[in-house]
Amino acid sequence: MALIVKKFGGSSVATPEKIFNIVDRVLREKQADDKIVLVVSAMGDTTDDLVALAKQVTSKPYGREMDRLLSTGEQVTIALMAMAFNERGQESVSLTGDQAGITSSDTFNKGRILGVDPNRVFEALDEGKIVVVAGFQGITEYGDMVTLGRGGSDTTAVALAGAMKADVCEIFTDVDGVYSTDPRVAKEAFKLEEVTYGEMLEMARLGAGVMQPRAVEMGFRYGVPIHVRSTFSDKPGTIIREDYTVEANKHVITGVADDTNTAKVALVGVENKPGVAATVFKALAARNVDVDMIVQSIRSVGEPKTDLIFTVAMDDVVLAREVLEELQKAVDIEAVNIDEKMAKVSIIGAGMLGQPGVAAQMFDILSQEGINIEIISTSEISISCLVAEDRVKDAVRVIHNGLLLDQRG
């Protein structure tokens, strides 16, 4: 007997036919005593359609009412999926995030899961039912529905799997695993048999769309193996776990990621004195604007002005602009410039620790391709460069083929 949590994304449940395909697959693979929980996203482009609908009535599509609207997408899917299981003769019940015991912070549009009480899920499983849970949503202590941000259904699935001590959490997507980079960009991309939580977390954080960063964090916290698989194939995918089980799968660089959901913010002519940067970033944090790459450039020695440059997600551009324009009244800032035509390219790999020369190789490859680097940031296992959006795919391709293929011989 196994307890398995399976997550299916929007493209996998886009039509009633696809929903029945999932139902038939789950029933075909299910062993007699297996207990199965499904976590599902909204059907197809439903979430995007709801966002577009909101924009027809407001220029500020965020906050409590936006979450109330967006959470309806998953509720349609869970009802249809449970109906489909029942139609096939398998008892099933649908549960919203609230009913599944998922509590969240009150940060609308970017909620964080604070806890999971899966008692109602266990009760349904003990009754022999397959449980279908709405991903992407949780409930605050005040009873408000909160969505969990992009890829939030992944987080729901892994959090449930962890709280329930599931044997594995399977994430089904439209690709058959985690690749060294996007195969649509570099045709030489290869599937990774396994990858560590740390590497996958960096890849997800830096733009690899297969997994959501918070989901990987949950996997690491609970020690839940995550199996990324294809909805449309029975082949094994990629296992995300604490460490490699096969030494041959470990390389200096594991993958190349890109993120076009990035805007560069330049605060021009900021007072060069203690406390100004703190004031700026406290104001952004108070409005839940995530800031990533940060550079402060000194114009010249003794210059009373400096330029403060950083990146934010495109989703936060409107809010960031509001905050910074308000801040101009209190802080001496000559200009606030936002460039939405930027993107980030990154290399990730635990093997880079103690391996000199990797950054130099990356920068040299970009230079030879004529790609200018605007900002550089690093972590222990990643190096990221901000480049023009119209060159980021070129950057991914040449870095992947120049570094990853070379290390594989």
Does the annotation place 138 within a ligand binding site?
no
- The response to whether 234 counts as a known ligand-binding position is no
More confident residue, 110 or 36: 36
Backbone angles phi, psi at 62, to 5 degrees: -150, 175
Domain boundaries along the sequence of the chain: 1-172, 261-337, 340-403
Domain at 340-403, CATH homologous superfamily: VC0802-like (3.30.2130.10)
Mean pLDDT for 139-162 is: 94
pLDDT band for position 202 (cuts 50, 70, 90): very high
pTM for the model? 0.84
Does 48 show up as a binding residue in the annotation? no
231 known member of a binding site: no
What confidence tens digit (pLDDT) does each residue in 9-54 have? 999 999 999 999 999 999 999 999 999 999 999 999 999 999 999 9
End-to-end CA distance of the chain: 42
User: Does the annotation list 74 as a binding residue?
Assistant: yes
Percentage of the chain lying above the pLDDT 70 cut: 97
Task: Determine if residue 165 is labeled as part of a ligand binding site.
Answer: no
CATH number belonging to domain 261-337:
3.30.70.260
245 is in an annotated binding site: no
Q: 340-403: same fold as 261-337? A: no
Residue pair 392/260 in contact (Cβ under 8 Å)? The answer is yes
The structure tokens listed for 290 are 């995530």
Tokens of 399: 């870095």
85 annotated to a ligand binding site? no
Q: How far is CA 242 from CA 180, 229, 353, in A?
A: 18, 18, 17
CATH match for 1-172 among 3.90.870.10, 1.10.150.80, 3.40.50.300, 3.40.1160.10:
3.40.1160.10
> Would you say 182 is a known binding-site residue?
no
275-306 tens-digit pLDDT: 999 999 999 999 999 999 999 887 666 678 89
Confidence check: pLDDT of 110 > 70: yes
pLDDT over threshold 90, residue 339: yes
**Does 7 appear as a known binding residue?**
yes
* 256 vs 208 pLDDT, higher one: 256
Nearest by Cα to 389 from 378, 367, 374: 374
pLDDT at 406: 63
